[in-house]
Amino acid sequence: MDGQSIGDAWHHVVGTQPDPPVWLVVATGAVALVAVLPAPLWRLSRAIVTIAHEGGHGLVALLTGRRLSGIRLHSDTSGLTVSSGKPTGPGMILTAAAGYLAPPLLGLGGAALLAAGHITALLWTAIVLLAGLLVMIRNAFGALSVLVTGAAFLLVSWYAGDQVQAAFAYLGVWFLLLAGVRPVVELQRKRRYGGAPDSDADQLARLTGVTAVLWVSLFLVTALASLLAGGSWLVGH
């Protein structure tokens, strides 16, 4: 690839793409909703949320100066992020809080990019984030999950036309916005029956002295606010 080709590719990534038709925006939102609501489909699609959840833990751990030992993703859609450092303090609190906040905030950031017309930039941002996550995966299923997801983004961004890229990008962002809500509701349901004593919210309660219900409320408010704001940007644009 010569210098001109590299320059053209770079301008395509950072430039803007044509606005998709309204029906495509609405249709991708409907498909994302179908992927979230029915339990059989949710058991499959929740794995994508787990990637974002554990990736959020890992990224914030690094940003706050903690040492990230590794991330594991499991076939039951659970995950584990292990980091070392001071067991209390802001770094640990932010790392613990990042999991449930990551999917809706990533969706909100993606909605901002799409509203500005940066469809290809969103796809390549996702590829870069997934590549960084792959380096820290420590089990075979997790590596396969991230590779398959990253490969889908790469193939679409490299070979697909503008409308297919737009559909894929809008579907992914709608999914993160919608799917950011359900895990929080499931978390509180489990906590109500004593099924999640070591959840992120309970760990945060022990770290801060703030009741776990308030942490769950923060997760839920963030997810709903991101859905309302991001959804309005997508539909309004």
The three-state secondary structure class of 222 is helix
Instruction: List, for residues 87-106, the tens digit of each pLDDT value.
Output: 999 999 999 999 999 999 99
Residue 201: both structure tokens together: 């919210």
d(CA 160, CA 228): 29
What are the b/e assignments for 50-65, b being 16+ CB within 10 Å?
bbbbbbbbbbbbeebe
Question: In the structure, what pLDDT confidence band is assigned to residue 116 with cuts at 50, 70 and 90?
Answer: very high
The pTM assigned to this predicted structure is 0.93
Residue 143: both structure tokens together: 């590596």
In this prediction, residue 45 carries a pLDDT of: 96
Question: In the structure, what pLDDT confidence band is assigned to residue 8 with cuts at 50, 70 and 90?
Answer: low
Question: In the structure, what pLDDT confidence band is assigned to residue 118 with cuts at 50, 70 and 90?
Answer: very high
Instruction: List, for residues 210-228, the tens digit of each pLDDT value.
Output: 999 999 999 999 999 999 9
**Do residues 81 and 71 lie in contact, with contact meaning Cβ atoms separated by under 8 Å?**
yes
Which positions ≥6 away from 180 have C-beta within 8 Å?
A: 49, 100, 103, 104, 107, 222, 223, 226, 227
